[in-house]
Amino acid sequence: MKTVTIIGSGNVAYHLYKAFSLAENILIQQVVARNKSALETFVSPDKLCTNFEEVVDSDFIIIAVSDNAVEKIAGLLKNFKGIIVHTSGATSLGVLNKHENHGVFYPLQTFSKSREVVFQDIPICIEANTKHNHLELNELACTISGNVQRVNSSQRRQLHMAAVFANNFSNHLFYLGGKICAENQLSFSILKPLIKETVDKLEVLSPYEAQTGPAKRNDQNTLEAHLSILESDLHKDIYTLLSQSLQETYGKKL
Amino acid sequence: MKTVTIIGSGNVAYHLYKAFSLAENILIQQVVARNKSALETFVSPDKLCTNFEEVVDSDFIIIAVSDNAVEKIAGLLKNFKGIIVHTSGATSLGVLNKHENHGVFYPLQTFSKSREVVFQDIPICIEANTKHNHLELNELACTISGNVQRVNSSQRRQLHMAAVFANNFSNHLFYLGGKICAENQLSFSILKPLIKETVDKLEVLSPYEAQTGPAKRNDQNTLEAHLSILESDLHKDIYTLLSQSLQETYGKKL
């Protein structure tokens, strides 16, 4: 049996709490955050802690707070023997190096509290300060995921940025597509089969092979027609730059 | 039994041929294109036609060619009684108005020849010059899809642009995410569970609700860190504009 302390009350803390609660041979000892009402929505009362002076040592102390608070929170944990990890894609391993045992436990996923996720497929990117701690973290990650990968700090920073392109920005494009629909008395649901196929295609084709559309085929008439009906200058600029990037990718000139 | 003539040899013609070949009470009489070798890859020899003077009239003549060729191809069809339709999102109904019976039959999907699609869920957006022709087109569309919608030319033009955002551009962002992975000795497959969840989330959340990431939470440190490691100026500009659009959407200031 391994023990875990989770620090944080946000989306990642919530989903890790859910996942480790169901994992075999894992005991969550505490979930710690200053925001009691946020903790109360998901943590059982006996594990809830709002006082950082009362944080207990565990085999693993998982700091799942916003990136800019990681170092400060870690600084509150004096003389802990457990492996102290953060869950941030954008933060290096080094911010924890005042601690004897430390590492990174970065689940590569988009988390919202209102949406349950299945951890089994989620890549958990781990990094540790010693080989022994790496093995320990690997074992911990394997209790909730079948997709554990060793990723160093430099790779993880790049991977986090890749995830911003692949998830944050693509979701925003779905939003912009839906906005255009709504402004024209069409339901967002009309785009859903297209969006679903966009992703389903990636089971058999690379994004390079799956690409279709006017920019790829260098259809200037359609590109100009779209730019003429887009109302927002910002959206025009986004349309132009993404079309330009597509044309570069497929060796076409604007 | 209704008869169909398909003009074209590209992705849309190919997939419509496949779908109508399996539809009940539909007989494809001909598939017509100048490019014989393209037709030979999917059309049975008895239906193949490469001479536009030999095009037969059918209940429906579907012009599935590139947008800028629609009008010219339609001009070759003199005194046809069937309903002549095009399949273009970006082209108005009006380009066919020299023909007694005409309409639009726009399947809203991304088509690649190497990827089979299930038409049942694909929205078919139809428009016609008369009520009778609308009913006929509706009946035709229902033989292959359970999602037939009446969409006028102005709406369709906007919908086509929305589809460019939701599919073409988001797929390109998947490509850019994969490129960043490849440049850092990581496989594109590490992003796939994230990409899948990005779309699966839309079953229960709107894109507005599903959004996560540094731009939404106005995390300037991460935005600046990402911009500092992006190498291409074009990709930096794309990152900046999409972050700006996200911040506007969530009421944050850059």
For residue range A78-119, what is the model confidence (pLDDT) as tens digits? 999 999 999 999 999 999 999 999 999 999 999 988 889 999
pLDDT band at B248 (very low <50, low <70, confident <90, very high): very high
Stated as kind and residue range, the H or E segment containing A159 is: helix A153-163
pLDDT band at A43 (very low <50, low <70, confident <90, very high): very high
Question: A121 at the B interface (CB within 8 A)?
Answer: yes
Strands, E assignment, A8-147: 26-32, 48-49, 60-63, 83-86, 102-107, 124-128
CATH number belonging to domain A156-249 = 1.10.1040.20
Q: HSE on the CB side for B235, CA within 13 Å?
A: 20
Which of A171-175, B165-169, B219-223 is the least confident region?
B219-223
CB B206, CB A188: distance < 8 Å: yes
Question: Residues 159 to 178 of B: which have CB under 8 A from any A CB?
Answer: 159-178
pLDDT tens readout for residues B24-70: 999 999 999 999 999 999 999 999 999 999 999 999 999 999 998 99
Residue A114: the pLDDT is 87
For residues A204 and B192, what is the distance between their CA atoms, to the nearest angstrom?
12
CB A239, CB A226: distance < 8 Å: yes
Mutate which of A95, A160, A167 to disrupt the B interface (most B C-beta within 10 Å)?
A: A167
Which of B111-120, B154-163, B165-174 is the least confident region?
B111-120
Architecture of domain B2-151: 3-Layer(aba) Sandwich (3.40)
Within A168-251, residue ranges assigned H as helices are 170-182, 192-200, 207-210, 220-229, 233-249
Asked if the model's pLDDT at residue A155 lies above 70, the reply is: yes
Please report residues of A whose CB lies closer than 8 A to that of B86: none
Contact A68 B221 (CB under 8 A): yes
Question: A250 at the B interface (CB within 8 A)?
Answer: no
Contact A171 B211 (CB under 8 A): yes
Please report residues of B whose CB lies closer than 8 A to that of A221: 67-68, 90
Residue A153: the pLDDT is 95
Residue A68: the pLDDT is 87
Cβ within 8 Å of residue B48, ≥6 positions away: B30, B31, B36, B39, B40
For residues B199 and B217, what is the distance between their CA atoms, to the nearest angstrom?
21
Mutate which of B67, B199, B203 to disrupt the A interface (most A C-beta within 10 Å)?
A: B199
Mean per-residue pLDDT of chain B: 96
Cβ within 8 Å of residue A50, ≥6 positions away: A32, A33, A34, A35, A36, A39
Mean per-residue pLDDT of chain A: 96
Question: Residues 208 to 237 of B: which have CB under 8 A from any A CB?
Answer: 208-217, 219, 221-222, 225-226, 229-230, 234-235, 237
Residue A140: the pLDDT is 98
Cross-strand bridge partners of residue A176 = none
pLDDT tens readout for residues B220-240: 999 999 999 999 999 999 999
DSSP B82: S
Calculate mean pLDDT across residues B113-132: 94
Give backbone dihedrals phi and psi of A98, rounded to 5 degrees, phi first: -80, -10
Asked if the model's pLDDT at residue B253 lies above 70, the reply is: no
CA–CA min distance A46, chain B (Å): 30
Spans of all domains in chain A: 2-151, 156-249
